[in-house]
Amino acid sequence: MSKPLIGISTYLEAEARWGVWSLPAALLPAGYHRLVQRSGGLAAMLPPHEPDLGRDEAREAAAHVVARLDGVVIAGGPDVRPERYGAETDPRTGPAALARDAWELALIHASLDSGTPLLGICRGMQLLNVALGGTLHQHVEGHSGPPGVFARHRVEPVPGTLLAAALPEPVSVPTYHHQSVDRIGKTLVASAYAEDGTVEALEAPDAEAFALSVQWHPEAGDDLRVMEALVAAAAR
């Protein structure tokens, strides 16, 4: 049986450096494609379109891309623009990533509309929540280490959920975020919590296919089970 093809959204940076080069680049930490590969899938990068692409055009482009995939991962990254969920910008919220917001929202809707298995990671979970009408806390403490360093904390899965089927017991996870889910979006349910009550996973139990998101960073650890669950759903 052929391995399922999993598309992963990417960063879009105005300047990246490698060798003698300093150029705009679409990039992705290697942990993502390695996690997909170690979990039995094939990885493809999905760079964003330019931010001036209209919503309808973005959704049409995303639908064409998702139609060629067996599964989609929305990767971690910068803060979601607060205007997307009707909030004023907190001074602690980072710069907007307009191209990523537009493209990844289109990918999420295309995945849900087509019944393509979907996994959101960190920012990907927050964006799934916003896509379905939810809101975010713009700053929380205690969920990251120093700049560029992952922290770890315990996560408790909710019994009977899609996440609990993959992770039936509490786990220690790598974490790096300063925003979190506030009001949960329509059709979503919380499927894991941190000890401080922060929502650590969301899923769409009524979705046509696997639709799960986690606030932590499985690509920064050795536990394959969440990605294996996506790859298994994509293989079906």
Catalytic center residues: 122, 217, 219
Q: 5-235 belongs to which CATH class?
A: alpha beta
Where are the domains positioned within the chain?
A: 5-235
Q: What is the pLDDT of residues 77-98, one digit of tens each?
A: 999 999 999 999 999 999 999 9
One-character DSSP codes across 16-79: EEETTEEEEEEE--HHHHHHHHHTT-EEEEEPPPPTTS-HHHHHHHHHHHHTT-SEEEE---SP
Q: How confident is the model at residue 51 (pLDDT cuts 50, 70, 90)?
A: low
Q: What is the mean pLDDT of the chain?
A: 96
Decide: helix, strand or coil at residue 8.
strand
Tokens 């536990």 locate to 223
Q: Which of 197, 194, 156 lies closest to 175, judged by CA? A: 194
Q: How confident is the model at residue 177 (pLDDT cuts 50, 70, 90)?
A: very high
Q: Do 12 and 49 contact (CB within 8 A), yes or no?
A: no
- Strands 11-18 and 136-137, sheet pairing: unpaired
**Crossing angle between the packed helical segments 98-114 and 123-131, to the nearest 10 degrees:** 70
Q: What is the pLDDT of residues 178-210, one digit of tens each?
A: 999 999 999 999 999 999 999 999 999 999 999
